Structure 1
């Protein structure tokens, strides 16, 4: 079986190549990938190569498939798994296997990743129950269950305490005050929607960023008016140029006492140190953004740790139960992962996107491995119509859906760009 896939072959080296996959083992599954979305973590693996903790040291000799957010269907089942899986079954992959090595698809394996037409789910992933059934037909939402899982995991991993009670109360504070800092990007949007519609129902949700364009898009997609009449409040704030953002943000909390939970979505020392000054009593500060600098640090008030029960967590990935929750909330219409998508393209667009990732604004980049199409921003579909009428139809579909990618657009792309 041949596959076309994108491989990391070292720092700043990504190649699209066609290769033969090895024969399927008895406890392996061959997956036909339908959709794959790109995370900043993929760019970090691309930029660091073997220096990345999940990328093998011999990546130059044995390149690894990229892509860890992907959905598709089973194309072949190993002889030892026919009682568990069926050909044609739609699935999504839980990439976080919890291995001591940290290895996972998209970083660590030559034949296991989402930026491919076909990929082999290996025995170690089968043993970790990494294949989840997907009942939907919109495959973009299937692959985006992975980033939603990460957000849900972060909310669940935050915790609170009661003095002299030696058990943590897991999760952000129900009905509390939540600050999402640097959060108008794709993962921040997912966090806002989960805060709005998930189980914790914070009374106050403050969303900050320094990019007004991103904030305007967030406000349009998830307007504060959704909470009118609920006793809850959603506030978007641009802290760029603000003389005293700490005073501004604390002023929104009850009696100015600070936040119960803070999540930081950018690896920025000033942002973390601002978060430190926003803490209320028993505040949990969740550092969600993963830095690339192993020496990254920021100052933190340890007086508050001792006397105010302040604490810090950091999360990466999520549990299988988090992904199942993401799929359930999506199927119920409580979460719309497609809000994160700002660009689409075919498999051929992946290397170029990695090379220019830092220069490309917007949110999630979505790729269809069976399509041939350059990376295009949804906002630019109309401008490309003069050269190619297919883009006009895509623009019509997206515009009719409030500028959000959708299943109708996916079907048209696959029928006309493959």
Structure 2
């Protein structure tokens, strides 16, 4: 039988500084008014988590660092409603025991972006797992969901692995939508990591003329073909630019989606895309990227679009998974307990895995 002290504690990963993440016993959260506490079923390790762990400047640099430690990381989570605060059942429309997911951003509801419905660009911009002001992240046994969070229910028929990719899938859907893919487009997705492979599945549903995926790992390219890519290119032994030119009458691709997270992915895309094409940037970079900016304006007049988070896309992601139109099969490759954190982050930050999940016991 658990002691009262044990009942108020839980195991969590706590980020203290770059490369200083510890498995700790911390106070278990409780639900206030219009708040939930969920029991975490799984939490994915994102590429941004790996870059944050390694000390990437965008997370830790500058006068106001993005990460405010100590904090429990993790934004790719889902779980079961364990506790309902006063009014929370009506506030969120959920009951005890239901599977739920909260969007990764906790909008303030007061800034110009929130008030205009563009909540994913909230000026305050609290995201689970990076700042503790609103709530910690999902790399723990339990997690508090604050009142301004956006919560969605997950149908019972969706597997644990599929439910665990709802957050990145929502990001992938938003990114593909930003590309405004047309039926006669040649679309290039650069990068076949977890997000790139989900984007491949979503872009395939748009039925472009040709869907091309570029990556350095043959096993990931094979998955991309399973997911609907018409052409895959490994730039280690193939001339990617020449191949794209050859299938577009030398013009270049219509849509280029950058999800490599490497500077070469940007310069490659600017060379590869046709004049008046649509360049969609999704990646989180660990270092600065330098390009010939005149390509965008003077030479090609490109439509450059960013893609951030997964606004209004969680219900779509859940529906696509429920209907079997998108899958985590082949993408989710590893699972670890919280206590196995050191091995989990090592595997996640390598080419030995695609998507790594933490599964609290």
Shift, 1:92, TM fit = 1.3
Shift, 1:40, TM fit = 0.6
Match of 1:209 in 2: 215
Match of 1:380 in 2: none
Aligned equivalents of 2:184 and 2:256: distance in 1?
14
Shift, 1:122, TM fit = 1.6
Contact 1:74 1:89 in 2 (8 A): yes
Counting only pairs closer than 5 Å after superposition, residues 311-350 of structure 1 correspond to structure 2 as 311-319=303-311, 321-350=312-341
Match of 2:182 in 1: 173
Contact 1:265 1:288 in 2 (8 A): yes
3-state SS in 1 of match to 2:297: helix
Q: Are residues 1:40 and 2:47 paired?
A: yes
Match of 1:151 in 2: 172
Change in CA separation of 1:325 and 1:33 when aligned onto 2, cut-off 3 Å: same
Match of 1:400 in 2: none
Counting only pairs closer than 5 Å after superposition, residues 95-106 of structure 1 correspond to structure 2 as 95-97=104-106, 98=120, 99-106=122-129
Contact 2:276 2:300 in 1 (8 A): yes
Counting only pairs closer than 5 Å after superposition, residues 11-410 of structure 1 correspond to structure 2 as 11-48=18-55, 51=60, 53-56=65-68, 59=69, 63-83=70-90, 84-97=93-106, 98=120, 99-109=122-132, 111-125=135-149, 130-137=150-157, 138-158=159-179, 171-181=180-190, 183-197=191-205, 200-219=206-225, 221-222=226-227, 234-242=230-238, 244-253=239-248, 255-293=249-287, 295-302=288-295, 305-306=297-298, 308-319=300-311, 321-355=312-346, 357-359=348-350, 361-370=352-361
Aligned equivalents of 2:183 and 2:156: distance in 1?
30
Aligned equivalents of 1:105 and 1:270: distance in 2?
30
Contact 1:3 1:119 in 2 (8 A): no
Residues 295-334 of structure 1: CA deviation (Å, up to 9, x unaligned): 33222443x5346431212222110x21111111111111
Match of 1:166 in 2: none
Shift, 1:273, TM fit = 1.6
Shift, 1:48, TM fit = 2.5
Shift, 1:22, TM fit = 4.6
Match of 2:13 in 1: 6
Contact 2:347 2:353 in 1 (8 A): no
Change in CA separation of 1:90 and 1:269 when aligned onto 2, cut-off 3 Å: closer
Shift, 1:347, TM fit = 1.8
Residues 136-161 of structure 1: CA deviation (Å, up to 9, x unaligned): 35222112110101111111223xxx
Please identify the structure whose Cα radius of gyration is greater. Answer: 1
Aligned residue pairs total 331
Query: Structure 1 stretches (4+) deviating beyond 4 angstroms?
Result: none
Contact 2:223 2:330 in 1 (8 A): no
Shift, 1:5, TM fit = 1.1
Change in CA separation of 1:22 and 1:364 when aligned onto 2, cut-off 3 Å: closer
Change in CA separation of 1:308 and 1:334 when aligned onto 2, cut-off 3 Å: same
Shift, 1:360, TM fit = 5.0
3-state SS in 2 of match to 1:151: helix
Aligned equivalents of 2:228 and 2:94: distance in 1?
42
Shift, 1:116, TM fit = 1.1
- Unpaired segments ≥5 residues, structure 1: 159-170, 225-233, 371-418
Larger mean Cα displacement after TM superposition, 139-148 or 44-53 = 44-53
Shift, 1:132, TM fit = 0.5
Aligned equivalents of 1:152 and 1:288: distance in 2?
11
3-state SS in 2 of match to 1:82: helix
Question: RMSD of the TM alignment (CA)?
Answer: 2.2
Shift, 1:103, TM fit = 2.0
- Unpaired segments ≥5 residues, structure 2: 1-7, 107-119
Aligned equivalents of 2:124 and 2:54: distance in 1?
20
Contact 1:342 1:365 in 2 (8 A): yes
Tell me the TM-score normalised to structure 1 length: 0.73
Change in CA separation of 1:356 and 1:236 when aligned onto 2, cut-off 3 Å: closer
